[in-house]
Amino acid sequence: MQIDVPLLKVLLVDDEPFILKGLAALIDWETEGYLIAGEATNGKSAIQLLKQTDFDLVISDIKMPEMDGIEFITYVRDHKISNARFVFLSGYYDFQYAKTAIKYGCCDYILKPIQKEELLVTLRKIMDEYQKEAGSEKKKKDYEKAYLDRHLLSIIFDKYDALDLKYVQEKLRLSDEISFLHCEISLNDTSFLALSETDRIGQKRRLYNYATLLLKNYANHVIYDITKISQCYDIGFIYCSYMAKEKGLTKDEWLNWLTKELSERVGFLVVACMGSKVYKLNNLADSYREAVMIRSFRFSRKQYCKNTLPCKSEQEANHQKDDYFKKQLDELVHVIEINDKQKIKDNAIILFRNMMNKQIDPQIVSRNIEFMLYRLLGLAYNQDADINQEEIMQYIREGIFTSKSNQGNELKFKQFVLEYSDYLTQLRQNTAKGIMSQIEVEIEENYAENISLKYLGEKYHINNVYLGQVFKKHYGCAFKDYLNKVRIRKAAEILMRTDKKICEIACDSGYKNQEYFINKFEEIYGMTPTRFRKRNMQNRMSI
């Protein structure tokens, strides 16, 4: 199997300029895998070039002024200046020269005038040797990487010994804070789902290869096919705190950079989940389990759509009843439904810690998380069959683990189930419907401010997802569309009544981006703000 190697750099050395030009023009060097990267007229000047640049091949004349070829190669080898291969040129055959040249590592001896075929034979022989060396080096690196991964996996799966810890600590540049990072090609990418299983596996290999290239300084931190979950096209990565700092980024910024770069290179959406930081390598298993748990919550493959949610008996039948979790899940779902705050806190912590139990197979945890998501969605669906199930699932997935929060994942999980219980209570009571008039006034008066569903939810003590659903029912559009309509209507009024510049009106209407403002204005009025103003002026003049 041929191994790709970069173009080999060639240094030509001869005291006759026409020989240098003739050599350069004699063959197509790049086609043969070579690049003429330097020229010199004697051994001394060639030595200076070798000190400055790493050349792979030196083609040199034997007889030269100041320092001949034999003195040249002797000096290079004795002073360990370069490991480049040498090929000597000579106008006559001298056995003693050839013997001395071979002694110092000359790999061939070509008589002048140089014949194209003879030069090609020599170059191709040297290229074959580089190919074999590159192949051997690749096999050696692959073996070393596989050996490192074996030790790493022992630590990640909490089945390590002192030898595993020692070897990994020697081979990886670790920091005081490390985390396990799980990356995968998203199954929400329809173009990826359209591929055959064989092609998907090929894309997973590409994801691994691009990750090692992108993170070249930390390539040994990348692990192929980490979770062993079926239809999960993933890699693992050992993240250290210095990685983000070296790029002048926060951890979240670094993670966004990584997923964006990988997505662009692979050509499919790449998503990632990171476990909490740990301070010792032998605690890496905790971070791994958290990352896999987050993955199960966020990137569940189940699709829930209206009129397809099974009844409770069907859920029970479809659920693989793992006794370890069944009772705990049932109890947590029950206290969420009745909104018993203290029991919600207690049961959430118990469930989370049991899911972190290192004796439990992560696939069992993932399966039970699927069931929990199904049950939570079912609670909301039982209160209101018209809810947007896709929106609720998105809320559940994003609400459980928010990367921007500084809380530990256990606290985030507890906070989520408390908020979800409040959401169900408000869904039952329809609390938002009675204060919509107040919210209307709020938007009319403060439309230019940074108003959001989250802000309104906090101000009026309403779950923001539930408030968003009420908006759709009440106004027939999403909150952001309603807010845009108010803002554009206000902008139109300003356009008709003042001579303010368009950029000022955009800002006064709550838009920081003038281009975005103009696009929204055109969507609603079918013309630009400037055209709208001119038309209004013309109408007034014609009256």
pLDDT digit string, tens, across residues 143-183:
888 899 999 999 998 889 999 999 999 999 999 999 999 99
pLDDT category of residue 94 using cuts at 50, 70 and 90? low
The pLDDT of residue 543 is 47
Q: Pick one of 1.20.1070, 1.10.1660, 1.10.287, 3.30.70 as the CATH number of 172-298.
A: 3.30.70
479-543 folds as Arc Repressor Mutant, subunit A (1.10.10)
Tens digit of each residue's pLDDT (9 = 90 or more) over 302-330: 444 444 444 444 444 444 446 667 778 88
Listed in sequence order, the residues at least 6 apart from 525 whose beta carbon sits closer than 8 Å to its beta carbon are 488, 492, 532
Per-residue pLDDT at 101 exceeds 70 = no
Round to whole Å and give the CA distance between 319 and 302.
13
Mean pLDDT for the stretch of residues 342-357: 85
Mean pLDDT for the stretch of residues 24-50: 92
Mean pLDDT lowest for which of 269-278, 292-301, 444-453, 496-505? 292-301
Tens digit of each residue's pLDDT (9 = 90 or more) over 220-266: 999 987 876 667 899 999 999 999 999 999 998 999 999 999 999 99
The second-level CATH assignment, the architecture, of 8-133 is 3-Layer(aba) Sandwich (3.40)
Taking 3-state DSSP, the helix, strand and coil percentages for the chain, each rounded to the nearest 5, stand at: 60, 10, 30
Domain ranges of the chain: 8-133, 172-298, 312-429, 479-543
The pLDDT of residue 315 is 45
Round to whole Å and give the CA distance between 205 and 198.
11
In contact, 235 and 204? CB cutoff 8 Å: yes
Per-residue pLDDT at 194 exceeds 50 = yes
Listed in sequence order, the residues at least 6 apart from 193 whose beta carbon sits closer than 8 Å to its beta carbon are 187
Round to whole Å and give the CA distance between 11 and 421.
74
Per-residue pLDDT at 431 exceeds 90 = no
The pLDDT of residue 403 is 41
pTM: 0.52
Per-residue pLDDT at 400 exceeds 70 = no
Block residue for tokens 């966004």: 256
* Secondary structure class of 122 (helix, strand, coil): helix
Selection from 422, 420, 401 nearest residue 410 by Cα: 401
The pLDDT of residue 143 is 83
Round to whole Å and give the CA distance between 148 and 163.
11
| pLDDT above 90 coverage of the chain, percent | 34
Mean pLDDT lowest for which of 400-409, 410-419, 460-469? 400-409
Mean pLDDT of the chain: 82
